[in-house]
């Protein structure tokens, strides 16, 4: 396990390009403790996957591939994002002359099939245990440019701020003593906190590597500006780690310095929240929440309301979704706090 500025990078990545299923199975058996192994059966597919995964090691099994497909080997090292990976060609002894002539200078290492499989595993393992990691290399490169970016940029673990660049520090107000406990929602206006949390949750769960949302953010002068927030996942294998860049798209602040009980913006915020709360749940959902407050289980609610357990589960899921919660318990707490159910009759 490796760490970079508080951010975790797990096992190193090994990409195996081979049509021999038994080779991939043997590598999994011998190396899966030390690295994440992905397998494909063609160089073309392997190249595209390599650009996505940025593997630390790529093993090309010449013994199972056509001679024609091997012409694409130079593409790996000629690609900017892959020229740091350790490229290994596993080849048949009878192919030595052609390998020396055409491919030896295109890869980092050639291992011939005349050696034992143990030698192959040993060499791969040595590379796995080397200090270099291509994933960390690109993250280090990014962090080196971090403070040169003019836009405010954050590194996030879920909604927790791991690192911020100088532009963010200049734009946003925060207490230095609380810097290790800051969250993205600390800089979001009250009416948008739930929206931002939901956006992050949905992005983390989805397959897309990039996402964009818009919101208003609180600046260091107690004013707010509209901003487009761009999220990018750092790595498919590392859940919940994002790069976030802020693009302001208006010149004028949205709020003046009069923030208080007489502030029109604040009053509008509470009025909108009140309207949303009023129509937050259907009559049936309120009945279910009231029974949940009593401690009823799904089957008991089903018997009490004369509807199927499956329908109860659908209502529960809708309740969680409406409140942007993670669990039904959070939804119940939300409903009680906002007086959405009459707990005296629950």
278 vs 51, residue with greater confidence: 51
Distances (CA, A) of 165 to 75, 168, 169, 171: 35, 5, 7, 10
Selection from 72, 13, 14 nearest residue 47 by Cα: 72
Separation of alpha carbons 104 and 127, rounded Å? 18
Separation of alpha carbons 307 and 246, rounded Å? 48
Average pLDDT over residues 21-50: 88
> What CATH number labels 280-346?
1.10.10.10
Distances (CA, A) of 90 to 16, 98, 138, 335: 10, 13, 27, 62
Q: What is the pLDDT of residue 59?
A: 95
User: Where does the pLDDT of residue 19 fall: very low under 50, low under 70, confident under 90, or very high at 90 and above?
Assistant: very high
Q: What is the pLDDT of residue 219?
A: 87
Q: Do residues 109 and 62 lie in contact, with contact meaning Cβ atoms separated by under 8 Å?
A: no
Cα angle for residues 108, 47, 2 (degrees, 5° grid): 65
Domain boundaries, the chain: 2-137, 149-248, 280-346
The per-residue pLDDT for range 58-73, each reduced to its tens digit, is 999 999 999 889 999 9
DSSP per residue over 23-38, as a string? HHHHHHHHHTTTEEEE
Percent of the chain with pLDDT over 90: 16
Q: What is the pLDDT of residue 90?
A: 94
Mean pLDDT, the chain, integer: 79
Separation of alpha carbons 242 and 220, rounded Å? 23
pLDDT at 236 over 80: no
Q: What is the pLDDT of residue 252?
A: 52
Q: Which CATH architecture has domain 149-248?
A: 2-Layer Sandwich (3.30)
How do 153-157 and 241-248 pair as beta strands? antiparallel
Of 215-219, 231-235, 310-314, the range with the lowest mean pLDDT is 231-235
pLDDT at 192 over 70: yes
The per-residue pLDDT for range 252-267, each reduced to its tens digit, is 544 444 434 444 554 5
Q: What is the pLDDT of residue 92?
A: 92
Looking at domain 2-137, its CATH superfamily turns out to be Response regulator (3.40.50.2300)
Rounded to two decimals, the pTM is: 0.43
Average pLDDT over residues 258-285: 55
Q: What is the pLDDT of residue 261?
A: 42
Percent of the chain with pLDDT over 70: 80
The per-residue pLDDT for range 64-122, each reduced to its tens digit, is 999 889 999 998 988 767 878 899 999 999 999 999 999 999 999 999 999 888 899 88
Q: What is the pLDDT of residue 280?
A: 60
260 vs 44, residue with greater confidence: 44
User: Where does the pLDDT of residue 8 fall: very low under 50, low under 70, confident under 90, or very high at 90 and above?
Assistant: very low
């Amino acid at each position: 396990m490796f760490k970079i500025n508080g951010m975790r990078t797990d096992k190193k990545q090994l990409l195996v390009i081979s049509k021999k299923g038994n080779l991939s199975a043997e590598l999994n058996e011998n190396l899966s403790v030390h690295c994440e192994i992905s397998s494909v059966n063609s160089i073309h597919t392997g190249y595209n996957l390599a650009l996505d995964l940025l593997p630390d090691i790529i093993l090309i099994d010449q013994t199972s591939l056509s001679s024609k497909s091997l012409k694409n080997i130079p593409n790996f090292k000629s690609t900017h994002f892959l020229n740091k990976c350790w490229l290994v060609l596993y080849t048949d002894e009878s192919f030595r002359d052609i390998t020396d002539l055409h491919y030896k200078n295109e890869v980092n290492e050639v291992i011939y099939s005349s050696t034992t499989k143990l030698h192959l595993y040993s060499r791969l393992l040595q590379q796995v245990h080397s200090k270099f990691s291509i994933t960390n290399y690109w993250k280090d490169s990014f962090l080196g440019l971090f403070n040169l970016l003019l836009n405010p940029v954050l590194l996030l673990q879920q909604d927790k701020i791991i690192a911020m660049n100088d532009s963010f520090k200049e734009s946003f107000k925060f207490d230095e003593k609380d810097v290790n406990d800051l969250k993205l929602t600390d800089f979001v206006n009250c009416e948008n906190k739930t929206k931002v949390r939901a956006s992050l949750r949905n992005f983390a769960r989805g397959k897309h590597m990039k996402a964009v949302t818009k919101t208003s953010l609180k600046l260091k002068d107690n004013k707010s500006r509209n901003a487009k927030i761009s999220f990018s996942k750092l790595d498919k294998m590392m859940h919940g780690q994002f790069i976030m860049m802020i693009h302001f798209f208006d010149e004028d602040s949205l709020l003046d310095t009069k923030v208080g009980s007489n502030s029109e913006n604040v009053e509008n915020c509470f009025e909108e929240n009140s309207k949303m709360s009023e129509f937050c749940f259907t009559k049936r959902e309120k009945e279910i929440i009231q029974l949940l407050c009593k401690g009823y289980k799904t089957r008991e609610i089903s018997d009490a309301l004369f509807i199927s357990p499956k329908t109860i589960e659908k209502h529960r899921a809708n309740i969680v979704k409406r409140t942007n919660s993670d669990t039904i318990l959070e939804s119940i707490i939300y409903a009680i706090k906002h007086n959405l159910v009459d707990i005296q009759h629950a």
